[in-house]
Structure 1
Amino acid sequence: MPRISSNGPALGLALTLAACGASFSLPAAADGFTLKDKPKIAMLYFGPKNDGGWTQAFDEARVKIEKEIGQKIQFVENVPEDASAIKPAAEKFIQRGANIVIGTAFGYSDSFKDLAAKYPDVAFLNGSGTTNGSNLESFYGRTYESQYLCGMAAGATSKTGKLGFVAANPFGVVNWTINAFALGAQKMNPNATVNVIYTGAWNDPVKERAAAAALIDQGADVIGQHVDSPTPQIVAQERGVYGTGHHRDLRQFAPKATLCSSVWVWDRFLTPELKKIMAGGWKPAQYGAFIEMKDGGTDIAGFGPAVPKDKAALITAERDAIMKGKQVYAGPLADRDGKERVAKGAVLSDAELWKMDWFVKGVVTQK
């Protein structure tokens, strides 16, 4: 994820959804939003299109979307999370005729809200944003679903049951991936544990290398991650252990070590959403789109050769179940201190997900 000071782009969305989104949402027009001219799409990238992670996932989605909708999508790279850069970049495209603008960062949220008000005939979409309106929709994926499946791969492959996890910041959006990873691992090995080290940064290869090495030194033989670079996977391969990736298929960087990856598949959400805009009468989700795996957002890529075929089949079956509505955070579920967090027959709410500050049994957190 792109960084904004010490916060990630999903943090604001987390706080927004935790508060039910009331302060950032606007009611959509009764008859929806309709373009006045032929659709012309532009994208603003937070980082370089070949960053290996967050932005590259959007760029790869762009190429697939172009094929699906039959038109080229303009884009610009390296637009920082600053209004003085965001607004001129978007307005330049709008002046050239763009009437659908897609952003890719939490830090674009306020600028996109201003732009949506200034250009009511333009549709705006923003990945990991917080602001919504009659012509503006923010969106993010339920990464805990794919991380749960990666945890299953880790638990199935580990010989010791000792897993490590390199995480960015102790925010709900990260904590839910850690817990889901642990629950997946424990489905395959009930005694599996997950040691976590937070780096304090979304993308810091030096800290990620140190964290991954420390976890391996402590006995972890599989390393999971929710950071932006492939460094944990590279370290795993160097040290002769395994790992699971995040953002993209990280077998590109560590083909021997990476068991599977939690990957963004934005085209699966954006293609139908763009078609809705093009068709007319589009009604953005009032509090933004919080996308389940079946609707796009995230999925898994893999499996690496180290995952036994019979275990891979079990993971695939679990993926199918999630696609059909199975909930990762269904009760009964308690935290590591024994406190009930989800009652039997209940499911953790979205607001509770976004503010998650607790961990399941078997998770050990370290700074």
Structure 2
Amino acid sequence: MLRRSISCAVAALVACATLPGAAVAADGFTLKGEPKIAMIYFGPKNDGGWTQAFDEARLKVEAAIGKKIQFVENVPEDASAIKPAAERFISRGANIVIGTAFGYSDAFKELAAKYPDVAFLNGSGTTNGANLESFYGRTYESQYLCGMAAGAASKSGKLGFVAANPFGVVNWTVNAFALGAQKMNPNATVNVIYTGAWNDPVKERAAAMALIDQGADVIGQHVDSPTPQIVAQERGVYGTGHHRDLRQFAPKATLCSSVWVWDKFLTPELKKIMAGGWKPAQYGAFIAMKDGGTDIAGFGAGVPKDKAALINAERDALLKGKQIYAGPLKDREGKERVAAGAVLSDADLWKMDWYVKGVVTQK
């Protein structure tokens, strides 16, 4: 998923929703010369999750725009690695550079200032400007649908969730998963264990095992590896995946996955850049399902056909503008978080530090 330095994550996530980027020229940004695109991957292209989703999107984008996209793998969230990687591509003629990590944000901002004739995009970034746009998807939409699948398949109503860190972007998936499950079973509960890491299969295995031992018969996740799904299959329970269709790793267990469909955003965005007059979103692109953020892949055999039809009906409603965090909505302590007739703001989504009724959190 997102790549972050944990110590600065919450402040940065709030900032990305509330602080303005550099002013965009009135006539927009226009490339000089033939478009040449490069991508910088945080991890290996076959990691099974976050980076692989970008690599699979790259192939689809290439086919859609008729251009090859260069890429480099395993570039960590360190300016001493990010800047040389980008500048090597720029020295070879690249004039569109796409990053794939939160931790690239500051380096990309500096690069955008240094190379004003190059367009920069950054997945899960927080910095924006005249030639720089960060983008991320509203993952709570697809996780809500996966929660519905989990609630439909669960016999006990006790669900587990393996999560990375208690940041807004994770908490909104946990809450949405719970709300989706409760749409199918109003008494459903979600026990959450945070591993403290985006990709740590050892901790993910331990967390999934503990949740199953506590009675969970469906395991959701917001971590990078498919380990929770693999454990679910080993233990004979169900699960829901994140990033990609994790039936690839656990075909018997995985009911549904929240999947990135980056090509649906990147293809039209790159076409805008190549056409000239591109105007990056001032606060970055926060992409809804209807615009190519995330979607779902499924359904596994554990979801009855009539329940799958209900989930697809909710998906259609989301595509038409339904809001998951619409009021009235209270947290698990009974405090009103969204008033009747209101919708939770983007700024409040990014800094979400509360949980809905039925969510039980533990380290």
TM-score range, shorter chain: over 0.9
> Aligned partners of 2:4 and 2:286: how far apart in 1?
21
Where does residue 21 of structure 1 map in the other structure?
A: 19
CA contact (8 A) 2:10 2:351 kept: no
Mapping 1:8-87, distance limit 5 Å:
11=10, 13-18=12-17, 20-22=18-20, 25-87=21-83
TM-score, normalization by structure 1: 0.97
Q: Do the aligned partners of residues 2 and 342 (structure 1) sit closer, same or farther apart at CA in structure 2, a change above 3 Å counting?
A: closer
**Partner letter of residue 188 of structure 1?**
M
1:261 to 253, 257, 261: 257
Partners of 2:213 and 2:357 in 1: CA distance: 22
Q: Counterpart of 1:225 in structure 2: which amino acid?
A: Q
User: Does the alignment pair 1:290 with 2:289?
Assistant: no
Q: Give the match for residue 247 of structure 1.
A: 243
Measured against aligned partners, the alpha-carbon deviations of 1:298-345 in whole angstroms (never above 9, x if no partner) come to 110111111111111110110010001000000010011111100110
State the partner residue of 1:235: 231
Distance 1:2 1:332 in 2: 30
Which residues of 2 match residues 1-367 of structure 1 at below 5 A?
1=1, 3-6=3-6, 11=10, 13-18=12-17, 20-22=18-20, 25-367=21-363
Alignment-mate amino acid for residue 65 of structure 2: I
| Fraction of identical pairs, as percent | 87
Partners of 1:336 and 1:216 in 2: CA distance: 23
Q: Deviations over 1:159-184 (max 9, x none)?
A: 11100001111111100000000000
Paired residue type of 2:149: A
Q: Which amino acid aligns with 1:70?
A: G
Secondary structure of 2:196's counterpart equals: coil
Q: Is the 8 A contact 1:137 1:284 kept in 2?
A: yes
CA contact (8 A) 1:13 1:128 kept: no
CA distance in 1, matches of 2:273, 2:77: 26
Q: Give me the whole-angstrom Cα distance separating, in 1, the residues matched to 2:50 and 2:350.
A: 20
Q: Give the Å deviation of 1:82.
A: 1.1
Tell me the CA shift for residue 114 of structure 1.
0.9
The code of the aligned residue for 1:14 comes to L
Unaligned runs of 5+ in 1: none
Cα pair 1:150 1:260 within 8 Å, conserved: yes
Cα deviation digits, residues 44-68 of structure 1 (max 9, x gap): 0011000011100000000000000
Give the deviation of 1:11 after TM superposition.
Answer: 4.9
Mark the runs of 5 or more structure 2 residues left unpaired by the alignment: none
SS of residue paired to 1:84: helix
Code of the aligned partner of 1:47:
G
Q: Residue type matched to 2:116 in 1?
A: P
Contact 1:2-1:46 within 8 A present in 2 as well:
no
The question of whether the paired residues in 2 share the 8 Å contact of 1:154 and 1:259 is answered with: yes
The AA in structure 1 aligned to 2:49 is G
Evaluate the alpha carbon distance shift between residue 100 and residue 279 of structure 1 in structure 2; reply closer, same or farther with a 3 A threshold.
Answer: same
**Aligned-residue CA RMSD in angstroms?**
1.2
With normalisation by structure 2, the TM-score equals: 0.98
Q: Number of residue pairs matched?
A: 363
Amino acid at match of 1:15: V
Report the Cα distance in structure 2 between the residues aligned to 1:352 and 1:113, rounded to whole angstroms: 24
SS of the aligned residue for 2:98 comes to: strand
Amino acid at match of 1:228: D
- Deviations, residues 21-60 of structure 1 (Å, cap 9, x unaligned): 23xx111000000111111100000110000111000000
By how many angstroms is 1:3 displaced? 3.9
How many angstroms apart in 1 are the aligned matches of 2:314 and 2:237?
25
Q: Is the 1:12–1:106 contact (alpha carbons within 8 Å) kept by the matching residues of 2?
A: no
Q: What letter matches 1:204 in structure 2?
A: D
Distance 1:308 1:334 in 2: 30
User: 2: distance between equivalents of 1:159 and 1:117?
Assistant: 55
Residues 146 and 336 (structure 1), Cα distance of their counterparts in 2 relative to 1, 3 Å cut: same
Amino acid in structure 1 at the alignment position of 2:180: G
